[in-house]
Amino acid sequence: MAGPKYPGFDTLALHAGQSPDATFGARAVPIYATTSYVFRDSEHAASLFNMERAGHVYSRISNPTVAVLEERMAALEGGVGAIATASGQAALHLAVATILDAGHHIVASNSLYGGSHNLLGYTLRRFGIETTFVNPREPQNFKRAIRPNTRLVFGETLGNPGLDVLDIPAVAQIAHEAGVPLLVDATFTTPWLMKPFEHGADLLYHSATKFLGGHGVAIGGVLVDSGRFDWEASGKFPQLTAPYEGFHGMDFEEESGTRAFLLRARREGLRDFGACMAPMTAFHILQGIETLHLRMPRHVESTRKVVTFLDRHEMVESVAYPELASHPDHALAQRLLPRGCGAVFSFSMKGGREAGKQFIESLRVFSHLANVGDAKSLVIHPASTTHYRMSDEDLSKAGITAGTVRLSIGLEEAEDLLEDLDRALAAAQRGMKGA
């Protein structure tokens, strides 16, 4: 017999996390723009501080508007809970700082967003946490890099810039055999395209700035815990399984079981690092999530049209999109991403840096900027912007050519996007011939 039914994704995207406002009956999520909350009496205050009662004390730790976003994302991802942060980078830092100490080690995919690479490769190293970067295309690379002091395995569901598909089931198994969790950056896929916990990931985060918001008006992040990783059984995480002097001798796992990670992340991480999300930001992100299930199919549909167009264009050397049979992860994408491979991808143009610049400057609908996942279509030419100081040789090491262009396909009329690209490619081609 089939079990009783859970609410569907679309329903959760609109409702999860919010009970209609009890005081005024507001249907939309109210914006609780308050730093703090009045205690009923002294005993109530003491109980809140000592975690004997649920509730809010100070908005750096929790806020009712932010809590709606957190619960909604936990529901959409199938996690026990979530913590919203000031940015996606703050979410990654919070995950790492909650369970790793100086002297620990991370094994990470080398196919990462540049900001994540900076944090792991340079900044965390200053604090005694080392990272080994591996090619994610071969899961055994993760296994070979694991050391006795490894405490985290990390990758992106769809990696930068070549859209490497992380083999989450295989990498999760490797991580679990080593007694450590797998954390994934699920920004490019969103829970509509893939639910990493169903494939074995233990922790995930999003840059909510991207598709979750979709409007490009707010910076934010969300860290979600599956609650499935058994910290006690692993034996490698005294941060969660031994009394912690920094929180009155609390043993987080003993105290809360499946909620141990989030308990420490909130009560220590938000308390001490303070990278919390503002309630207005949570409201903005929630407005986006309420239409995520409508936007993502359109993003994917238009992306497929653009990919097909570019793949056949004479000015295009190659297109890196896992739905193409030419992509090395095509089969894996069919298995893990049947709904589509997102709306951010790169292609390589003929003609090098100059052609790339000419192309970018000829676009009218695509916006030239450093972001992805907006409702508006976006473009950037790494060789002339984010990576402009690099030689062609160094670009190659980063998986980029002088002609690489990254697109983020928005929600405009697809025909208008194709026309814009066609015109700009023609302009680049004319520039090449004239040179």
Interface residues with other proteins (CB under 8 A)? Answer: 1-7, 11-12, 15-19, 47, 50-56, 62-64, 66-68, 70-72, 74-75, 78-84, 226-228, 230, 232, 243, 248-251, 254-259, 262, 266
Nearest residue (CB) to other proteins, 71 versus 419? 71
- Contact between 304 and 90 under an 8 Å Cβ cutoff? The reply is no
CA distances from 185 to 188, 223, 224 (A): 8, 9, 10
Least Å distance between CB 138 and other proteins? 29
Nearest residue (CB) to other proteins, 62 versus 346? 62
What type of residue sits at position 434? G
Least Å distance between CB 403 and other proteins? 44
Pairing mode, strands 378-380 and 404-408:
antiparallel
Could you please report the per-residue DSSP string of 340-365?
Answer: ---SEEEEEETTHHHHHHHHHHH-SS
Least Å distance between CB 7 and other proteins? 5
What is the distance between the alpha carbons of residues 182 and 204, in angstroms, rounded to a whole number? 8
- Contact between 243 and 253 under an 8 Å Cβ cutoff? The reply is no
Nearest residue (CB) to other proteins, 177 versus 394? 177
Nearest residue (CB) to other proteins, 6 versus 122? 6
Nearest residue (CB) to other proteins, 62 versus 408? 62
Least Å distance between CB 85 and other proteins? 11
Least Å distance between CB 150 and other proteins? 23
E strands within 19-104?
81-85
- Contact between 276 and 234 under an 8 Å Cβ cutoff? The reply is no
- Contact between 276 and 91 under an 8 Å Cβ cutoff? The reply is no
- Contact between 79 and 186 under an 8 Å Cβ cutoff? The reply is no
Least Å distance between CB 77 and other proteins? 8
Pairing mode, strands 130-134 and 105-109:
parallel
> Which among 117, 209, 127 is positioned nearest to 156, based on CA atoms?
117
Nearest residue (CB) to other proteins, 71 versus 301? 71
Pairing mode, strands 221-225 and 203-207:
antiparallel
Least Å distance between CB 146 and other proteins? 24
Nearest residue (CB) to other proteins, 117 versus 266? 266
Other C-beta atoms lying within 10 Å of the C-beta of residue 299: 26
Least Å distance between CB 42 and other proteins? 13
Least Å distance between CB 253 and other proteins? 9
> Which among 242, 246, 250 is positioned nearest to 272, based on CA atoms?
246
Nearest residue (CB) to other proteins, 3 versus 148? 3
Nearest residue (CB) to other proteins, 17 versus 181? 17
What is the distance between the alpha carbons of residues 52 and 49, in angstroms, rounded to a whole number? 8
- The pair of three-digit structure tokens given for residue 64, joined into one six-digit string: 């009712």
Give the burial class of 205: count Cβ atoms within 10 A of its Cβ; 0-12 exposed, 13-18 middle, 19 or more buried: buried
